[in-house]
Structure 1
Amino acid sequence: MATDRYRVAIREIEWDGGGVASGDDQTSTALVPARTLQEVGKTFGHSGTISVSITSRDDRELIAFSADRKTVTSLLIKGNFPPVRRLFPETVENYAVMNTADLIEATRRVALVLEREAALRYSFTPDGLTLEAIGSEQAQASESIDAILTGDATVVSLKPQFLLDGLQAVPSEYVRISFTKTENPNKPGPVLITSQTSREQAGADSYRYLLQPNLLLR
């Protein structure tokens, strides 16, 4: 799990405990600096299997990632991780399905006219998805792509880079974007990004990405 003020990502993967008995008493939690995991990804990106170990030494907790005769170690962060799992909805009835690559490329093209930190407007209707960007009076862009909408037509404003970060981790050809609601009708709920095996069939929920939209500018 990883989170900042605007988004939460969860990825679940299988692991081998090496014969350790299963049970809640065997659960371990580690808060690892993001830079360490980025380095681990670069170092072991092509390794088949990575060994992870957690140890305590002189009142310090360490984590080690090992593979191919190389090891990356780091001190763990002390404290508790925010309870972000409760932010994820169990079911969402309003969602859209589209090709992952089409959405990524359209977002990149339309975002070219935006100033830094600006957001894109995504309009989901039964006819498809329309992306709109207004960078200035001289720079505007829009593009439409195919999308299958279930539920009500929805408009959300999303920062393109935050959306791209989530889409680039989707492991499937199609992606589902689900729209949650809040008690305040003027405040949009987070959008939930998950994999989609095909246009009709949802993917496994091993990867979930929750992104808070910007307030819509009328």
Structure 2
Amino acid sequence: MEFRIERTAFAEAVGWAGRALPSRTPVPVLGGLLLAADAGRLTVSGFDFEVAARIEVDAETGAAGEVLVPGRRLLDICRVLPDGPVRCALEGARFTVEAGGTEFGMSTLPREEYPALPSRPSAYGTVDATAFATAVGQVAVAAGRDETLPVLTGVQLRLDGDSMTLSASDRYRYAVRRLDWKPQGAVPDSGGFVEALVPARRLLDTARSLARCGVVRVGLEASTGGGLAGFEGAGMRSVVRLLEGRLPKYGSLFDMAGAAVAEVDCRALTEAVRRVSVVAEASSPVRMDFSGDGTVLLRAGYGDDVATQRLPAVLSGAREVSVAFNPAYLLDALNSFEAPRLRLDLLGTGQRALLSGLGDEERDGGEGDEGPGAVSVRHRHLLMSVKQLV
């Protein structure tokens, strides 16, 4: 096996596949990256049973072949390689990497012990790569981190007609984001839609790394063991093992009948929350007092150690309303919005609050949690107001 490749292309390919390397594993071969050279192409693959990453790049192939090398070591080598062409060759059980007069030798891992990579799920359609990465980032902040509740660590992906819906919840917040996508053929589901629960951390990493691909092809393959999700673009492919289960439906949670409605500048509110929360203890909330005089007063801290700031805000449906939130959760929600102004539907202390961007309304033609033909917004974030006000 022998191939030549530019240093930048080689480093990017190894870095992409290296995303699938486990931090720790009792199976040594899973710490390896599989390199395959054939007919002017180099394929680099990584796999840890939960996610498989594969990328193809152009390379000048001198001799076709495959080799399994220690992944972390190859990543370290790529970081220090000088610019210019890189020559790689397999000589017996030794793999060499040479560039600019510098040569690295590596021992190899047993190729025959490396597990077979999962096959690519059939593509259901395509989505704009940048929009997809943005949408995943907006909902993934609401996913749980507690591995004892695996269902809550996922992002639920729903494909229905020409609409893709992403949602995530950790019981204290619930984020939902809709975006357009282009289906390819009929979705094999009796209801005309398909749902899958994808690990949030894996999906976020994959979506961000594919953000510059232009278009991402999405495929799903359901099975009793959770199934697989595939994401592919510009020669890069990631296959992720799905979680079993489904998030609770959000339709009734997002019903805010009788709520007071406040409108405020999103950036100004975000900056104000960031300022006043400096004095907040770990479990201390940020309080927001909306009043009919066209302002909202933010307050955090206790006793003499307090911070306040007043902002313009428009309140309707009540003369005044007070709510308080975990500052980290509130900032996560605010930072996820792109709209210049924010709408807050407020039920009061200790109850739900629904955040949405103004001017983001659309007509939903699907059969989602809100029913067919409902007027919805593309991005919403539900938070629980704490019962104890500052």
TM-score range (shorter-chain normalised) is 0.7 to 0.9
1:212 match: 384
Is the alpha carbon distance of 1:58 and 1:138 closer, same or farther for their aligned partners in structure 2, counting shifts above 3 Å?
closer
Amino acid at match of 2:268: D
Distance in 1 between the 2:225 and 2:168 partners? Answer: 25
C-alpha displacement at 1:47, in angstroms? 3.2
Matched, 1:75 2:241: yes
Backbone CA RMSD of aligned residues = 2.3
Distance in 2 between the 1:161 and 1:53 partners? Answer: 34
1:120 match: 286
Rg larger in structure: 2
Distance in 2 between the 1:58 and 1:175 partners? Answer: 41
Contact kept, 8 Å, 1:7 with 1:212, in 2: the verdict is yes
Amino acid at match of 2:260: N
Distance in 2 between the 1:21 and 1:111 partners? Answer: 46
1:159 match: 326
C-alpha displacement at 1:147, in angstroms? 0.4
1:179 match: 346
Distance in 1 between the 2:239 and 2:284 partners? Answer: 37
Q: In structure 2, list runs of 5 or more residues that go unmatched.
A: 1-166, 363-376
Equivalent positions of 1:1-218 (< 5 A) are 1-20=167-186, 25-56=191-222, 61-89=227-255, 91-127=257-293, 128-134=295-301, 136-152=302-318, 153-180=320-347, 188-197=350-359, 203-204=361-362, 205-217=377-389
Contact kept, 8 Å, 1:156 with 1:216, in 2: the verdict is no
Choose between structure 1 and 2 for higher RCO, CA contacts under 8 A separated by at least 6 residues: 1
Identity %: 26
- What TM-score comes out, normalization by structure 1 length? 0.86
Out of 57-66 and 140-149, give the one that drifted further.
57-66
- What TM-score comes out, normalization by structure 2 length? 0.50
Distance in 1 between the 2:338 and 2:327 partners? Answer: 19
Distance in 1 between the 2:339 and 2:258 partners? Answer: 20
Count residues with an aligned counterpart.
208
C-alpha displacement at 1:169, in angstroms? 1.9
Is the alpha carbon distance of 1:48 and 1:114 closer, same or farther for their aligned partners in structure 2, counting shifts above 3 Å?
same
Q: In structure 1, list runs of 5 or more residues that go unmatched.
A: 182-186
Distance in 2 between the 1:151 and 1:57 partners? Answer: 48
Out of 92-101 and 54-63, give the one that drifted further.
54-63
Distance in 2 between the 1:52 and 1:193 partners? Answer: 29
Contact kept, 8 Å, 1:44 with 1:67, in 2: the verdict is yes
Out of 97-106 and 77-86, give the one that drifted further.
77-86
Contact kept, 8 Å, 1:194 with 1:203, in 2: the verdict is no
Distance in 2 between the 1:207 and 1:143 partners? Answer: 27
Distance in 2 between the 1:212 and 1:57 partners? Answer: 35
C-alpha displacement at 1:41, in angstroms? 2.9
